[in-house]
Amino acid sequence: MTAVADVMDYAEVVESYDPVLGLEVHVELNTKTKMFCGCPNQFGGEPNTHVCPTCLGLPGALPVVNGKAVESAIRIGLALNCEIAEWCRFARKNYFYPDMPKNFQTSQYDEPIAFNGYLDVVLDDGEVVRVGIERAHMEEDTGKSLHVGGSTGRIHGAEHSLLDYNRAGVPLIEIVTKPIVGMGARAPEVARAYVTALRDLLRAMDVSDVRMDQGSLRCDANVSLMPKGATEFGTRTETKNVNSLRSVERAVRYEMTRQAAVLASGGSVTQETRHFQEADGTTSPGRVKETAEDYRYFPEPDLVPIAPSREWVEELRKTLPELPWERRKRIKEEWNLTDEELRDLINTGAEQLVAATVEAGAKPNEARSWWVQYLTQQANTREVELAELPITPAQVARVIELVNSGELTNKLAREVVQGVLAGEGEPDEVVEKRGLKVVSDDSALIAAVDEALAAQPDVADKIRGGKVQAAGAIVGAVMKATKGQADAKRVRELVLERVGA
């Protein structure tokens, strides 16, 4: 039944159509407790152990707003250059689905706590795009359902479903962009760059774990196309819960090629939610989109309105940390980076890792070269984000220290890093276990040098006769004999010494 979807060549798409994007990002806040009750806000745990009458929606249980979550919401709004509502309320979003036993989700509707802001986003080539923020509102997360027995993991065709309410009631902020227009062929890149910038910002503010793989940051991508020159937006689809930065870009790109094929063949795009398939990078239809009326929103009668005083808002503004773009400016100066070096640092996602490595004692240039080059290659081959590599800045700093003290050559250092990545322990343990110390004992090196000279007497004669470049062959032989564990510079000195050159 899964026919290969008809798509249009990307170059052709952007020649004939203008894409419009809208990104909805859900962020789980890292507060100690849930949004409206005192249950722990913790990822995982035995199913249905972080629950109480309030988050299970039992009759008569009353919610109380988590003040810390409101504080985070306001800080996020301020960091996104939003206006903060003087007065706003929660609303009930009614729907029946077993992941919310109350039969409504407590959310905000037409009175969000923050609205009308923007986020500046840096693209791969350094160009800055200002993405408008429509609103950031507070709500609660739903429980998790696991549909068992079907082939797709969806409710259709399942034999039964398991429900875990540990996540029900976890504080969420939903951040919604204004329509992003005029990006043309770069729309997919802009989508990824926006989610990246937002993730970096939220991480710097320490309001969320922002782990896309664990669902603490989730993105829904709205995409529509309009024929070049048109003034009215086309019908959009909403691709749900795309769970990596790379997938955000792929999902937008795929939707553009799919919708273009539909439109070009005279069809019309159905307004629906869609699911992204990691495996082949396509999207498949979900449900036909509800309209706001379907949810019968009304103000939540069990909660008091939120009326943050202007004094409080200004106090919170003062708690904003150095934001990513400010930090970048400072780092560029402090580490004396060229525009290109700064861009590589940002694009590889290495910024905070390098900063932490410097904090652990390494020089900026050394730390940067490890993260931006070797470790980025390692992350690419493993298809993970740099930050997800199983090595810490402190461990990288230690490897650098071992190189600087002459205990490791660069080549050996890379082997040590491989060992750390393979879970063999701390750098020093890997050196020990794999026997990777530099042979710094001159007597062992001299023996190897003499042996190599004896094996290649003609070369030895050449060096003796003044052809110093010929020493390279002997150095190579010694490096081979010591399995690369010798300091090549010292070996060269010894070669010249032994032939009496």
Instruction: Tell me 174's DSSP state.
Output: E
By C-beta, is 75 or 135 nearer to Mg ion? Answer: 135
Q: Which is nearer to ligand ADP, 14 or 23 (CB)?
A: 23
Q: Which of the listed partners (Mg ion, ligand ADP, Zn ion, none) does 259 bind, with a CB threshold of 5 to 8 Å by partner kind?
A: none
State the residues that interact with ligand ADP by CB under 6 A.
Answer: 20-24, 134, 176-179, 222-224, 233-234, 236
Burial 183-197 (b: 16+ CB within 10 A, else e): beebbbbbbbbbbbb
What is d(CA 380, CA 112) in angstroms, rounded to the nearest whole number? 40
Size of the site for Mg ion (CB under 5 A): 1
Nearest to Mg ion of 273, 485 (CB atom): 273
Give which of Zn ion, ligand ADP, Mg ion, none residue 39 binds (C-beta under 5 to 8 Å, depending on kind). Answer: Zn ion
Q: Which stretch binds Zn ion (CB under 5 A): 44-52, 83-91, 174-182, 255-263?
A: 44-52
- Minimum separation from the CB atom of position 218 to ligand ADP (A): 13
Residue 226 CB, nearest distance to ligand ADP (Å)?
A: 8
Report which residue's Cβ sits closest to ligand ADP: 22
Q: Among residues 45 and 465, whose Cβ is nearest to Zn ion?
A: 45
Strand partners, 288: 272
Contact window for Mg ion (CB under 5 A) among 20-28, 276-284, 288-296, 448-456: 20-28
Find the shortest distance in angstroms from Cβ 112 to ligand ADP.
10
* Cβ within 8 Å of residue 127, ≥6 positions away: none
- Residue 37 contacts which entry, ligand ADP, Zn ion, Mg ion, none (Cβ below 5-8 A, type-dependent): Zn ion
**Residue 52 touches which of Zn ion, ligand ADP, Mg ion, none (Cβ within 5-8 Å per kind):** Zn ion
Is there binding between residue 35 and Zn ion (CB under 5 A)? no
Binding partner of residue 14 among Mg ion, ligand ADP, Zn ion, none, CB under 5 to 8 Å per kind? none
Can you say how many angstroms the Cα of residue 401 is from the centroid of all Cα atoms in its chain? 29
CB contact at 8 A, 78 and 84: yes
Sign of CA dihedral 179, 183, 185, 186: negative
Which does residue 20 touch among Zn ion, ligand ADP, Mg ion, none (CB within 5 to 8 A, set by kind)?
A: ligand ADP
57: left (phi over 0), alpha (psi -120 to 50) or beta: left
3-state secondary structure 213-260: HHCCEEEEEEEEEEECCCCCCCCCEEEEEECCHHHHHHHHHHHHHHHH
224 binds, among Mg ion, ligand ADP, Zn ion, none (CB under 5 to 8 A by kind): ligand ADP
| 297 three-state secondary structure | coil
Contact partner at residue 226 from Zn ion, ligand ADP, Mg ion, none, CB < 5 to 8 Å by partner kind: none
89: closest CA among 299, 309, 308? 299
| CB nearer to ligand ADP: pick between 31 and 239 | 239
Q: How far apart are the C-alpha atoms of 488 and 169, rounded to whole Å?
A: 61
Q: How far apart are CA 180 and CA 408, in angstroms?
A: 51
Residues that bind Zn ion (CB under 5 A): 37, 39, 52, 54-55
Residues that bind Mg ion (CB under 5 A): 24
